[in-house]
Structure 1
Amino acid sequence: MWGAVLIAVGTGAAGFVPPGAAASPAVPPGARSGGSVAAGSAVMVTPDLPRFRTYAYGKGGKQRLDAYWRAPVKSARSRPGPAVLLLHGGYWIEGDKRDWKYVARRLAGDGFTVFAADYRLAGPHAVWPAQRDDALAALRFVKKNARRWNVDPGRIVAVGSSAGGMLATQLGTYGEGAKQVRGVVALSPVNNPYLAYRQGDAPDASPRQAKLRRAVVDLLGCVPGAGDDDLCWDRADDADAAVHASAGDAPMLLMHAAGDFVPVTHSTELASALRAVGVPATVRTVTGAGHGTAQLSDPGVYPRILAFLRARTR
């Protein structure tokens, strides 16, 4: 499915820009114009391609994000547009922002400026909440520099998959989430790491659930439930989005596959907590066992996501 999207939108110019570097307010660096090819009496017009550039939102090696936009991003009368922040999955210990590139290009084609962010991977030097801190820093960078891409800083939504879905729900619940993002879409989010830790120890746990259990230890930097470790319990609670649910949170669309190794209970628990304080939260289950972005192979999933994003960024 995404291979067809890649052919349709092509690739853009790439570059790297550190924080604070100058950029044209009208057309960000690296932009190129589209073209046309004559074939007899017919003319095939190539639409403007999504542009691509990498920026640093912090000093760490993983604190980078890729921006995708359609040029020109600004005209004399153009209204600042909506944006999407994408957060990749990978058990918090692996994965890369480029995992989102086909989705990013498609969203750019549908009218969004898109930012796919990396974040520090879990390990001895990056335990929770380092990953949430990075997601928040990436979001602040986009808002601070919104004029570069003619983005409305008040019309940004977060989308994440698996571990990245958990980070997206954290953006929507930590503090006053609705002031940070207008909405959240999470595919197979591991919203409750301690629940995932327990599920990975069940007799019928799959290899992926067992791997997720080990990754939770890497994320928290401790073994939850191993003795009376207040710091570990505090981290586990803090990493559970439902704990942060409040009336000021962002509306959410939470999606799992019926056979997902991250069960839908991760999202039904969060949705119940959000609804209890008056925040709209929708949980959808699709057929099959697709995890995270694999759900996009279902032809109904992307249109549902797009409709939600558009509704939240009007």
Structure 2
Amino acid sequence: MVTPELPKFRTYAYGTDAAQKIDAYWRDKGAGAEARPVVLFLHGGYWLHGDKGGGWKYVARRLTEEGFVVLSANYRLAPRAHWPAQRDDALSALDFVRRHARLWNADPSRVAVMGSSAGGQLATQLGALGKGGRRVRGVVALSPPNNPFLAFKDGAKPGATATQRKLRRAVVDLLDCTPGAAPGPGTEPGAGTEAGTGDGGEPGTGTDCWPLVDDASTLTHVSRGDAPMLLMHGTGDFVPVAQSTGLAAALRAAGVKTTVKTVDGRLHASQLLTDPDTYPTIVSWLKSHLKK
């Protein structure tokens, strides 16, 4: 069996901060070759850690075999940088990709964004913020905590796992504040349910946190002009599957084409790729939404 040749690889700076780096993976098809569609990847890691390389570089290489140019971006992490710095960096990385697409013979009009876990939340933000459908052709998100406040609440429930408690603390680091009880008539931003003293909110703390809580929830930004999304989630994930099904319901209600694929078990983020249907589903969906 012949081993496929590795794609070309180069790291670029898309900003002045040390964290604002992006890796490009592409295959040189020669002069005159048709420009190829692009996938911008955003890593996970609780918004606190993670890297554009790691195991995802193998996924990037595989996607180049399918005809995509892949860009994998780092972004500023909490607690050194707070929300919305992470989303700002993702937007800047996307702008960099568009402006320099010719370097990789990529088509800047055919771009999708894909993210895992915290990176999935950033990916859905890019697809929903403003007229997200004008920004990207589609979004693929694996195990995204689309509403950080729900993750914050889950970490305070009796029986919360260590990872859920870690995610709760990460939300505080991300926002640089502790969400208190919901303001106003008692509705929590982006969640559509009542918030009170027993739901994980903390009365008397973080009342000025709510604009950030609201902004960090992708549900807040849902509108008819959003990009179509493929949301993938494990049924027993420590980030509850409701994070994806809830966003999907809001998107569909707004008239946005949305697909949810669930995988049985506690698989989270990259672990979803151990399911034999996950990768083919991603590739098929990307090809469908990035075709000319």
State the TM-score, normalized to the length of structure 1. Answer: 0.83
Counterpart of 1:147 in structure 2: which amino acid? R
CA displacement 1:180-223 (0-9 Å, x = unmatched): 11000100001000000000011111100000000000000000
Shift of 1:288: 1.8
- Distance in 2 separating the partners of 1:223 and 1:276: 31
- Distance in 2 separating the partners of 1:211 and 1:45: 44
The alignment-based identity, stated in percent, is 59
The answer to whether 1:236 aligns with 2:213 is yes
Shift of 1:46: 5.7
- Distance in 1 separating the partners of 2:157 and 2:273: 29
Provide the aligned C-alpha RMSD in A: 1.3
Q: Is the 8 A contact 2:178 2:205 kept in 1?
A: no
CA displacement 1:22-42 (0-9 Å, x = unmatched): xxxxxxxxxxxxxxxxxxxxx
1:1-314 aligned at under 5 Å gives the runs 47-72=4-29, 74-76=30-32, 78-99=33-54, 100-123=56-79, 125-225=80-180, 226=202, 227=204, 229-314=206-291
Shift of 1:45: 5.9
State the TM-score, normalized to the length of structure 2. Answer: 0.89
- Distance in 2 separating the partners of 1:250 and 1:188: 18
Shift of 1:231: 3.4
- Distance in 1 separating the partners of 2:290 and 2:36: 9
- Distance in 2 separating the partners of 1:69 and 1:248: 30
Q: Is the 8 A contact 2:179 2:205 kept in 1?
A: no
Q: Which residue of 1 aligns with 2:199?
A: none
Q: Give the match's secondary structure for 1:114.
A: strand
CA displacement 1:271-301 (0-9 Å, x = unmatched): 1111111101111110121100110001110
Shift of 1:49: 2.3
Highest Rg: 1 or 2? 1
Counterpart of 1:112 in structure 2: which amino acid? F
Shift of 1:48: 3.8
Counterpart of 1:269 in structure 2: which amino acid? G
Counterpart of 1:253 in structure 2: which amino acid? L
Which 5+ residue runs of structure 2 have no aligned equivalent?
181-201
Shift of 1:109: 1.1
